[in-house]
Structure 1
Amino acid sequence: MSVDVVQLAQDLTPYATTAITAYGTAVLARVESDAADASVSFGQRMLRRLTGRDTSDGSDTTTEQDALADTVAELANTPHDADLAAMLRVQIRRLLTAHPDIAADVAGWTRPAAPTTVTITTSGERSPAVNINYGTIHTGDTTA
């Protein structure tokens, strides 16, 4: 099976950045959060596979996998850096090119809907800006 690694890297990068933004450097941890949405879980699983953290000890990683793990750590510290996100895509492409077996494996995985960016706007004095809230929001006002 021939895989277009350039397109695959382009397709995988949004999942990677979503997972990195959600978990930071813990994105490479073996434990997945039950609360993680499908895109974050897929991104986390994919990054563990690409960086070799999906094996029992992770000790037999390649140069490309180590470089990708370094980029993940750097992007986790500055998650909105467009240059680092582009570097992540390049690192993923290099790894997939160097390891066609990994590319074929990941290309065969079923992907959830592509992650989207949520924009939240609030207006008014002391108005909270919330994406998802499962509880009460108190702004400090006294209530009856």
Structure 2
Amino acid sequence: MDAEIVTLVDAAGPYLTAALTAYGVGVLGRAEDAAVDATADVGRRILDSVWRRRGGQGRTELEAAVGDAAEAPDDADAAAALRQQIKRALREDRQLLAELLVLLPARSTVSATASGERAIAAQHITTAISGDNATLRP
């Protein structure tokens, strides 16, 4: 289950960054804001869910990590400390994991790579012609 936690926290990273950029240190006290983009709002909702499920000490630690990360957005250590707080919350509250998974948009694991002259790459393909003087017959 720890691999699932790591995967979730990694996937949440861009949303957390967007929320901290949009809301700053006040992210934990903010309500949904229609003027903020969807990515930032998902990050805010993640942080709010974690904060609501923590006790007094856990909330204090999360607030400190959010403050540090918001004040120093380019500080990898501050971002790592915030991720660590979220991982700790997820390890202590398995129901929170399910709650946060619902908040994250579905991730596609499909990748397509095309290399070389006339190479074609696609997730779904109906017809592809890659060549000179090709004829397509019905």
Structure 1 unaligned segments of length 5 or more: list them. 54-59, 114-144
- 1:49 — aligned with what? 49
Structure whose CA Rg is larger = 2
Greater helix content: 2
- 1:125 — aligned with what? none
User: Over residues 117-144 of structure 1, what are the superposed CA-to-partner deviations in whole Å (9 max), with x where a residue is unaligned?
Assistant: xxxxxxxxxxxxxxxxxxxxxxxxxxxx
User: Over residues 25-76 of structure 1, what are the superposed CA-to-partner deviations in whole Å (9 max), with x where a residue is unaligned?
Assistant: 12112422211101001111111111118xxxxxx73533432221001111
Aligned length: 107
The answer to whether the 8 Å contact 1:13/1:88 transfers is no
Structure 2 unaligned segments of length 5 or more: list them. 108-138
> If the length of structure 1 is used for normalisation, what is the TM-score?
0.64
CA RMSD of aligned residues (A): 2.5
- 1:7 — aligned with what? 7
Closer/same/farther in 2, CA of residues 36 and 44 from structure 1, 3 Å limit = same
Larger RCO (CA within 8 A; separation ≥ 6): 1
Closer/same/farther in 2, CA of residues 25 and 10 from structure 1, 3 Å limit = same
- 1:70 — aligned with what? 64
> If the length of structure 2 is used for normalisation, what is the TM-score?
0.66
